[in-house]
Amino acid sequence: MSLLPFRIQDKNRQKWQKWIGDNQAFTLAEILVAMAVFALIILIIGQIFIGSSTAISQNNKSMSALDASQAVFQQIGLDISKILLRDDVDYSFAKVASGTTGNLAGNDSLSFYARTTGLTSTGSPATGTPRTLSVVKYQVAQNATTSMQELDYGAQQIDWDNSGSNPLVLTSVTQLLTTPNTLPAVTSFATLAPEVVRMEICFQLVNDPIATDSPPKLLTPTAPVYVSATSIPQPIRNLAGILVGIVVIDSQSRVLLPSGVDLKVAKLFPDAVANEDLLSLWTPDVTVAKLEGAGVPARAVQGIHVYQKYFPLPR
């Protein structure tokens, strides 16, 4: 028997073993390069993940603030669509200067008669056979439990005659016109939006030359304000509509604010001025530096949003 095939196989085995022996480990340079590439890949993936998480978180905060603003504007729009437009009944679109001390912090308020069933004394929707007329009121006030600013909503049920607990007698026209702001007091409120820390209102008059502009630019912030107990209010028929601006702090950012900072934030936003809408007034004026200077943590600055909506009065 010939041994030649075995010799060839043995020679090939020796060559294979020699090749393995020469290439059995990576060099130090190869290992370092591989580690550097791996670390770079991990860094890139980490940055993408962090960026995505930040974007998702910021988007969630923006959506939360937007949802709160839409809920507020929807309720205000619903009540204004049912407003009682009569010059023999009163209303109060009261303005407060932003420099005012205390918890008002420049927050304006809306109060008027509307054809709505209103709320009970506990702030819940009326049930059974509720009255069809109420005095509604929107105001930003300090919550007694949390001591934080919030937008409250009240709708006090009333009657057209003396049979109810809050009578509105149309024969008292003289008293209503000579003693403005005599609306029945709204005593019960429900929290409409705990995210809202500032509300500003201004007005469009019917005789404004550009009253059809949207959004309105020619505004009269002080037209229907009650200056004293004997002043005559601006007749409501002279108002074309109301512009409402709100400052919203989303719920995630709100919990980051130290006690009392929400009040300081509200005071940063200036009062409405004529010939300017609120977004144009507020957006460039309130900067990151001002917010952080008022005590807003850096993580919460991006959670502060401003919104406005114009409500034409029904005709």
Closest among 209, 214, 197 to 277, alpha carbons compared: 214
Residue 205 confidence (pLDDT) above 80: no
Residue 22 lies in a domain: no
Q: Which residues pair with 196 in a beta bridge?
A: 248
Tell me the pTM: 0.73
The phi and psi torsions of 284 (rounded to 5 degrees) equal -80, -20
Task: Count other C-beta atoms under 10 Å from residue 166's C-beta.
Answer: 17
Residue 14 lies in a domain: no
Residue 10 lies in a domain: no
Residue 165 lies in a domain: yes
Residue 176 pLDDT level (bands cut at 50, 70, 90): very low
CA distance readout (Å), 40 to 37, 47, 53, 57, 243: 5, 11, 20, 26, 53
Average pLDDT over residues 24-38: 75
| CA angle at 189 for the pair 183 and 193, rounded to the nearest 5° | 120
Within 13 Å of residue 93, how many CA atoms lie on the same side as its CB?
Answer: 21
| CA angle at 185 for the pair 183 and 191, rounded to the nearest 5° | 120
> What is the C-alpha separation between 171 and 228, in angstroms, rounded?
23
Residue 77 pLDDT level (bands cut at 50, 70, 90): very high
The phi and psi torsions of 314 (rounded to 5 degrees) equal -65, 145
Tens of pLDDT, residues 253-262: 888 889 889 9
Residue 8 lies in a domain: no
Contacts of 158 by beta carbon, 8 Å cutoff, 6+ apart: 113, 131, 133, 134, 135, 164, 166, 167, 168, 184
Residue 270 confidence (pLDDT) above 70: yes
Tens of pLDDT, residues 122-172: 666 666 666 678 888 999 988 888 888 999 998 887 766 545 445 455 444
Comparing 62-66, 82-86, 98-102, 258-262, which segment has the lowest mean pLDDT?
Answer: 98-102
Residue 97 lies in a domain: yes
Average pLDDT over residues 39-43: 81
Taking the CA atoms of residue 143, residue 144, residue 147 and residue 153 in that order, the dihedral angle to the nearest 10 degrees is 10
Q: Which two tokens stand for residue 226?
A: 């009650």
**Averaging pLDDT over each range in 23-37, 204-218, 279-293, which range is the top one?**
279-293
Residue 245 lies in a domain: yes
The number of folded domains in the chain is: 1
Residue 247 confidence (pLDDT) above 90: yes
Task: Count other C-beta atoms under 10 Å from residue 150's C-beta.
Answer: 20
Report whether 269 contacts 199 (CB < 8 A).
no
Residue 57 confidence (pLDDT) above 70: no
Higher pLDDT: 94 or 213? It is 94
Residue 299 confidence (pLDDT) above 90: no
Residue 73 pLDDT level (bands cut at 50, 70, 90): very high
**Averaging pLDDT over each range in 7-21, 164-178, 195-209, 285-299, which range is the top one?**
285-299
Residue 143 lies in a domain: yes
For a pLDDT cut of 90, what percent of the chain falls above it? 15
Using the Cα atoms of residue 201, residue 202, residue 206 and residue 209 in order, give the sign of their dihedral.
Answer: negative
Higher pLDDT: 1 or 253? It is 253
The phi and psi torsions of 227 (rounded to 5 degrees) equal -85, -40
Residue 88: which domain range?
Answer: 52-312
Report whether 160 contacts 133 (CB < 8 A).
yes
**Averaging pLDDT over each range in 120-134, 230-244, 287-301, which range is the top one?**
287-301
